[in-house]
């Protein structure tokens, strides 16, 4: 739709054009406010997501530490119960690693 602009006798544009410009400016202000609110909401959601991910990582690390501590306690108990067997197993593992390293160095 083509709109023609009329001029008054003094060369100024008519009120309908000015009103249109004002409506467009008002619409842009509303859009600017909406975008600002959207950006704020998005930033808040991102911060909440990051905080939740951080909590999940902390829980996983804590669980891993507990599992490692339990494994160390279990190994320590087995070594205390059977010290000679533990030394024999360690010697066998050391011998096997030594043989493998000797073969790969050739």
pLDDT in tens, 37-54: 999 999 999 999 999 999
φ, ψ for residue 7, nearest 5 deg: -110, 145
Q: Mean per-residue pLDDT for 53-64?
A: 96
Question: Quick check: 14 pLDDT over 70?
Answer: no
Please say whether the beta carbons of 8 and 14 come within 8 A: yes
What is the four-CA torsion angle of 67, 72, 73, 79, rounded to 10 degrees? 150
Is the model's pLDDT at 7 over the cut of 60?
Answer: no
Tokens matching residue 15:
């009120």
CA distance 14 to 26: 19
Provide the residue ranges of all domains of the chain, joining segments of one domain with +. Answer: 15-104
pLDDT at 13: 54
Q: Give me the chain's average pLDDT, please.
A: 86
Per-residue pLDDT, averaged over 78-96, amounts to 94
Q: Per DSSP, what are the bridge partners of residue 4?
A: none
* For residue 70, pLDDT beyond 80: yes
């Amino acid at each position: 739709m083509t709109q023609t602009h009329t001029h008054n006798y003094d060369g100024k544009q008519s009120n309908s054009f000015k009103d249109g410009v004002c409506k467009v400016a008002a619409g842009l202000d509303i859009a600017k406010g909406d975008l600002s609110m959207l950006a704020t909401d998005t930033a808040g959601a991102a911060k909440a997501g990051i905080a939740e991910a951080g909590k999940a990582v902390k829980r996983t690390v804590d669980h891993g530490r507990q599992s490692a501590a339990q494994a160390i306690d279990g190994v320590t108990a087995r070594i205390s119960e059977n010290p000679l067997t533990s030394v024999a197993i360690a010697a066998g593992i050391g011998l096997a690693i030594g043989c493998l390293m000797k073969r790969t160095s050739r």
